[in-house]
A = this chain, B = another copy of it.
Amino acid sequence: MNTKSTINYQEIAKELNGIETTTNSDRLTKLSLDYYHFSPILTEQLQNKRGELAAFPTTEAEVLKIALICVKYKIPLTVRGAGTGNYGQCIPLEGGIILDTSKMNQIQWLKPGIACVQPGVKMAAFDKQARKIGWELRIAPSTYRTATIGGFIGGGSVGMGSVNYGQISDRGNLRRVRLVTLEETPQVLELEGDRVQKVLHAYGTTGIITELEIPLAPAYPWQEIIVTFDDFMTAASFGQALSDSHGIVKKLVSIHASPIPSYFPALKNYIPQGKHCALLMVSEYDITPFQDLVQEYQGEITYSKTAAEAAKGTSLLEFTWNHTTLHARSVDNKLTYLQTFYFTLERLEKLYQQRGDEIMIHLEFLRAGDKAVPAGLQLIRFTTGERLNEIIRDRESQGAFIANPHVYTIEDGGNKQVDPQKVAFKQQVDPYGLLNPGKMRGFRE
């Protein structure tokens, strides 16, 4: 692989004629960031990493042209969408070219149940079109308004809708990808069925996605609701019960322990101090049985907006998942987080009782295996990396699963192990190791 000392990026830009590029330092700095600053550890490791040229292709042909040049000069190539990730997924560790997909933002076709898109389509913008024919994305992150579909497939995992459809890696949640390889002669490949796993959550190390076929969910009018509770475990049990209520259609079940709601000034009129709350999206058609469930758990509905009303303001989605961390850090930037699967309410209760002043828990329920389970991005008052690892080890020893968001390789985060299929596929499509170098640990080993 070449380093910048031997490459003249002005000349590369000329060779890429016809494709929009930039070598502007300020723009490159912005394009070399995601939201890794939620992690003090990643911040230290990643803050000086910079790409040297960014390209903004609009077609697959332009992507092929960029791929050719990268192979010709052995230049590292890192693909990014909107950069809303938190694990440094799209940070160019070795510099080189940044391929920004945001101009590849066409919906190729849209049918009941399924759509074909370019990777740079923003998720909320897609849904605006899809809802016209009664459909929407199955799963989307809290960064829904700005995140791209390609970025979510390449670097994401779960989000709103996961209480119904599980993770993006669950069979069926991605149907087909087209991608450009970085072989000696770059080519276009298509993967269908289970083979799409090779690019899912691979951080763009296994090819440049140029097209995606994604299944859709029926679009409901989603009522946005806040319910408050006196007791956290009652709120958590309510979240489990709602997730398990087959007769009540929902899309988001997020439970926040006090004092987390105090980090949401925009919601302060709806969540009295000291209360725990549920932030929810429930089908408008199912509000009456939902109210019976709230009553059973002695919750109080303090906020309820129809889908039409909710569309005018900020969605409750933007207080859940890792947006919780964003709001908390805007008050106290010493806070960081750990992505945690509790699996059962019993384990959750035990860990909740052990939280001390160091940890604040919120939950997002999602389907994993045969059940809907409590998971969440617990807020942590950061002191040292050692202490953070101690917390991780302690939680793991009690049976929780931690997807560590303070590491930037695929394997050391959620996957926990080298995936031989992904590594073998990378050896085929990226023999020079140019794609997002340093992110797939298994490839270098």
Q: Which of B164, B246, B248, B284 contacts A246 (CB 8 A)?
A: B164
Docked Cα-Cα span, A289 to B112, in Å, equals: 17
A151 contacts the other chain (CB 8 A): no
Interface of A is mostly: mixed
Oligomeric state, in copies? 2
Contacts of A290 in B (CB 8 A): 172
Docked Cα-Cα span, A164 to B247, in Å, equals: 9
Interface segment out of the listed A18-26, A321-329, A367-375: A367-375
A192 contacts the other chain (CB 8 A): yes
Number of residues of chain A lying within 8 A (CB) of chain B? 41
Cβ A247 vs Cβ B293 within 8 A: no
Cβ A285 vs Cβ B245 within 8 A: no
A165 contacts the other chain (CB 8 A): yes
CB-CB nearest in chain B for A112: B285
CB within 8 Å for A173 and B247 given contacts A215-B285, A285-B114: yes
Cβ A367 vs Cβ B285 within 8 A: no
Contacts of A370 in B (CB 8 A): 240, 244, 371-372
Cβ A172 vs Cβ B113 within 8 A: no
Docked Cα-Cα span, A25 to B208, in Å, equals: 77
A286 contacts the other chain (CB 8 A): yes
CB within 8 Å for A289 and B165 given contacts A248-B171, A371-B370: no
A385 contacts the other chain (CB 8 A): no
Taking the closest CB of chain B, its distance from the CB of A290, in whole angstroms, is 8
Cβ B367 vs Cβ A246 within 8 A: yes
A11 contacts the other chain (CB 8 A): no
Docked Cα-Cα span, A165 to B164, in Å, equals: 12
A288 contacts the other chain (CB 8 A): yes
A194 contacts the other chain (CB 8 A): yes
Q: Which of B112, B215, B372 contacts A286 (CB 8 A)?
A: B215
Contacts of A399 in B (CB 8 A): none
Contacts of A164 in B (CB 8 A): 246
